[in-house]
Structure 1
Amino acid sequence: MRGVDWSNLPLDIVERIIGHLGSLDRINMKAVCKAWSVSTPHIPTIDNFPWALSGDRLIYPPLQKQFRGEEFQKIREARAHASSHGWVLYEVVEHEAPDFASFFLYSPFTSEVIKLPESNFMGDDVVATFSLDATSPKCVIFGLSGRIRRRNTRIYICSPGDNAWKTYEISIRKNVEHAAYAGDGVFYCVFSEGELGAFNLRLKEWSMLTSEELEDFNFRKAKLIASDGDLRLTNSQYQILKFDFSEKRWVEDLNLNNRVLFIGGTCFSCPAVGETSQLANHVFLCDWQRVRCYGTKYSDSLQYQNWLWTALRSWIWIEFPSGVIWRANDLMTAP
């Protein structure tokens, strides 16, 4: 009806309406107006498992959903570093200046792009990640040069809307392999021989949690996965380690505690409950043509086959924004 201000609908009605919609319909509805976008109605989430980006398709295996988008092809050559709340952090190395990289945040669910400040740090082998809490519009991007080119290594920090990156010098001469955000205001970095460092965002302090070197684990291209207070690490040989914070060392992880690991350009750890319980203790790896099982038998269920098919044809996992759908304007204008 014309002349009706839909943004003034009571939130309990909005909750009921959105609660009956599918995943992408929820996003479209919450994008009707800013009031619906930034509100936090108590709507049951569909699931906590990530989606996958494969070519020009955004895939959600449990529902056999596939959504095509021409813009997905445009970012295929960009490097995905991390995903959170529906956003993906991408890096593009300029062909005319290959020693430098530019970063941007992109949401395949809303087709929005947030450009980040031009960087003056080397683009080759940079590791990066970011924090984006659905209850707060303040996002922090963290970057670290992956290969040592100077006496001290620099950490780079910025937020959407910043004009430049802030830099912090740390005294370490190691090659860094991967970075992850733990959700507690701490960014973690794993180095080429298993050393683990942490940057406290609030205190702006860097510390080394362990300098222990492990000879029987290949840390080259290792991936960090942070979830629920745990920090795990895996490599292309399917070896999995878990960091023991009390002992300050890596230990072999032979039991994933009924979780599922999704490894690719971006990584996730999710609990396997309800309809997804048959995926417990499995590791799905994009492009590596294999799935590893810990402690349980392989499943012949249709859902398992859908996840396997998706993993073998995708290159990144994307966290679905099951809570608030933050749009670019909200991020840039929020206090």
Structure 2
Amino acid sequence: MAEEIVQINREKDQEKKEFDKSWAKLLPELLQLVSAHLFVTDYSTFRAICKSWRLSTPISKPLLPLLDSPHSQSPCLMSVGNYKCSFFHPIYNSTYHMEIPELLGAMIRYSKYGWLLLSRADCSVFFFHPFSKIKIKLPSYHHEYAFETMCFSSPPTSGDCVVIGVTFAGMQVGFIRRGELDWTICQFKRDSCSELSGCTPVLYKGKFYCLYKLGRLAVFDLNEYLGAPNQYSCSWTVFSTGLPEHICDSYELSYLVEDNGKLFAVFEMHDCEPSVYIFSLNLSPRGSRSRMTWSHMKWHEVRNLRNKTLYVSPGGSFLELAAVKGMRNKIYLPKVQDNSNVFYSLKTKNYHSFFSDYSTRISSYGRELNNSSWIIPMLTTAEEEFSW
């Protein structure tokens, strides 16, 4: 009887070994098909199962999971470092590092429609779609004009796409439209210029909005210039925002966001409580078809985002419907803490992370990502041979 039991156990062990062996011998094509739909954390576990599974899947896999995930339209924070690019997803608490040689040494200037606008020290400019690896080169601009900030109006595949850059003091604005071979440089009157705040500008319906230091807003009407470039005198329309004095004097970082005809200004304070202020400005007043009268335009403080989430970063900022309920009325910053995104709650007036109990009112909470931008994962219809 004992010998029979031993024999049965041996047979079971043999069957188990054969079963395990069969999983290890799955066709690489099948393994690749399965792994292509795994998110970052599960993908790492998948590769750790056995040698054959690890060999069937590349270390730097395409970013398909970000496109196929249930929350694919939720922005993720992308950072370009010296050797690798990193993606931080606020919902999945996952960090994905990937080598993208095309981006090494490049500075993120702007992000929208799933595209990145980048530049290099040699004044070369290009679009890059990290989810399809498509790169679109633009004509370089002259070294004399070192653009401090840049943005674009629509996807680079669109016929009306315009790229704009502005120098540090706002003395020059350069723009180039799709199909053009050279940049057009607008020289501004010195008395109309001031020092920019450094935040990303906004291009909306042909008007270019920049935030100046001391909280002032400057506007350049590109349509008016294009209508009469020889007669039009380049100057900023600058108006005082009427912001509280303690904000103008004490804010450390600022961001501009356009959403459905409204301009949102976000100020992160230094050693102040509360640490973050939001103001909105209606760019399309109802009942008025005439030219905007800036003296009647006023900032209004926003105390509640309700069911929306605000994502801010040096390269791209978005106001989106909250992907999950717990993200409502929060501002996600270009910061991470233990590889988790840092956000500011307008309700608690504190900085938090979803995956940590720690919270603080101090603005220095988390690690600031310099060359970074929020980007919305999406597909593109552009092909590799697409040219500007």
> Which category of TM-score, normalised to the shorter sequence, fits these structures?
0.5 to 0.7
Identity of aligned residues (%): 20
SS in 2 for 1:193: helix
From the superposition, tell whether residues 295 and 200 of structure 1 become closer, same or farther in structure 2 (CA, over 3 Å): same
Tell whether 2:312 aligns with 1:283.
no
What amino acid sits opposite 2:120 in the alignment? V
Post-superposition offset of 1:212:
4.2
Aligned to 2:77: 52
Q: Which structure has the higher relative contact order (CA within 8 Å, separation 6+)? A: 1
SS of residue in 1 equivalent to 2:139: coil
**1:250 corresponds to which of 295, 299, 305:** 299
For the pair 1:267 / 2:316, whether they are aligned, the reply is: yes
- Structure 2 alignment gaps of length 5 or more: 1-36, 39-61, 227-234, 270-275, 286-295, 359-365
Deviation at 1:76, TM superposition (A): 5.2
Q: Which residue of 1 aligns with 2:262?
A: 230
- Between the aligned partners of 1:258 and 1:209, the Cα distance in structure 2 is 33
Does 2:202 correspond to 1:173?
Answer: no
Contact conserved, 1:106 with 1:114, CA < 8 A, in 2? yes
Superposed, 1:96-107 pairs within 5 Å as: 101-107=123-129
Aligned to 1:241: 279
Query: Which is greater in Rg?
Result: 2
Within 5 Å, give how 1:57-136 maps onto structure 2. 57-63=86-92, 67-71=96-100, 75=103, 77-94=105-122, 101-120=123-142, 122=144, 126-133=148-155, 136=158
Distance 1:134 1:167 in 2: 20
Paired AA for residue 193 in structure 2: R
Does 1:292 find its partner at 2:344? yes
Distance 1:122 1:230, change over 3 A: farther
C-alpha displacement at 1:297, in angstroms? 8.6
2:181 and 2:385 map into 1 onto residues whose CA distance is: 16
Q: Is the 8 A contact 1:230 1:243 kept in 2?
A: yes
Q: Is the 1:85–1:134 contact (alpha carbons within 8 Å) kept by the matching residues of 2? A: no
How far apart are residue 331 of structure 1 and its match?
Answer: 5.2
Aligned CA distance change for structure 1 residues 304 and 258 (closer, same or farther; 3 Å):
farther
Does residue 317 in structure 1 map to residue 373 in structure 2?
Answer: yes
Shift of 1:82: 0.9
Tell me whether 319-328 or 256-265 shows the greater mean CA deviation.
319-328
Distance 2:336 2:99 in 1: 25
Give TM-score, length-normalised by structure 1: 0.68
| Cα distance in structure 1, aligned partners of 2:384 and 2:186 | 27
The amino acid across from 2:310 in the alignment is L
2:201, 2:329 → 1: CA distance?
21
- Give the Cα separation in 2 of the matches to 1:106 and 1:304: 37
State the distance in 1 between where 2:176 and 2:156 align.
18
2:218 corresponding residue in structure 1? 197
CA displacement at 1:277 relative to structure 2: 2.2
Q: How many residues are matched?
A: 282
Secondary structure of the residue that 1:285 maps to in structure 2?
strand
- Post-superposition Cα deviations, 1:66-105, rounded to whole Å, max 9, x if no partner, equal 5543226x635432121012211122224xxxxxx33222
Conserved? CA contact 2:126–2:138, under 8 Å: yes
For residues 103-156 of structure 1, give each alpha carbon's deviation from its aligned partner in whole angstroms, at most 9, with x where no partner exists: 2222221223222222225565611111224883442110111126xxxx2210
The alpha-carbon deviation at position 276 of structure 1 amounts to 1.5
Structure-1 separation of matches of 2:382 and 2:237: 34
Normalised TM-score (structure 2): 0.60
1:142-181 aligned within 5 A: 142-147=164-169, 153-171=171-189, 172-177=192-197, 178-181=199-202
Question: Tell me, which stretches of 5 or more residues in structure 1 are unaligned?
Answer: 1-20, 29-42, 95-100, 306-310
